[in-house]
Amino acid sequence: MHKKIDIPFEIEGTLEATQSGSVRLHADKIASGHIPVKGLLHLFGEDLSKLVNLKGNRGVTVEGDNIILYPGRMLPPPRIDGKVTAARIQGDRIVLSFDSEMATALNPPYKTGSYLYHRGGVLRFGKLTMNDTDLEIVGESRHSPFEFSLPEYNRQLTAGYSKNTASHGLIVYMRDLTSLSAQSGGQ
């Protein structure tokens, strides 16, 4: 295989959470131009790690035929800390469950099925830093899932409003990403 040419390829595999809290994608099938190449790679004593060149630390490593994902290093701020405890495919999305190993029962002040609640630790977003965090982000609809986007959170935040609580916490009422996109014409 010539290593100076970029060759597009597709991978099919299994996804799982690892003991260390990362995500492993094991390549069961590798194809380039709809031609299976995994067996050919192994025939020449190569594996997926020889096919992929990852420059810098972007939260992804390749070990043999496994792609290891470190979500805490992949995503933009606000940063996620915690171990991935479960990974699954749902439709066209990867769904991850996290555990910080410091879990305590949470009792958010606003009772709804559509919210994100952050309690404890330090949270930074925009120019705001909260110590001993008590932040609840509430979706605009009480009856449908809250569509939150890390890359678009500032647009969602500025389209909503916030309210301080008596315990020095903050409740942020945020626009749903879909309604925000529909309002701005999909921009």
Q: In percent, how much of the chain has pLDDT > 70?
A: 68
pLDDT of residue 57: 63
Q: Collapsing DSSP states into helix, strand and coil, what is residue 147?
A: coil
Token pair of 124 as six digits: 């930074």
Per-residue pLDDT averaged across 80-98, rounded?
Answer: 83
CA neighbor of 170 nearest in space, from 127, 134, 122, 117: 134
Tens of pLDDT, residues 139-167: 877 677 778 888 888 888 889 999 998 88
* Residue with the larger pLDDT of the pair 13 and 76: 13
The winner for highest mean pLDDT among 51-65, 101-115, 171-185 is 171-185
Question: Residue 44 above 70 pLDDT?
Answer: no
CA–CA distance, 99 with 96 (Å, rounded to integer) = 10
Does 16 have pLDDT greater than 90?
Answer: yes
Contact 177, 184 (CB under 8 A): no
| Cα dist from 178 to 80, 90, 171, whole Å | 23, 19, 21
Tokens of 135: 């932040």
Q: What pTM was computed for the model?
A: 0.50
- Sort residue 135 into left (φ over 0), alpha (ψ -120 to 50) or beta: beta
State what percent of residues in the chain have pLDDT above 90. 6
- On the question of pLDDT at 50 being above 70, the answer is no
pLDDT confidence of residue 11: 80
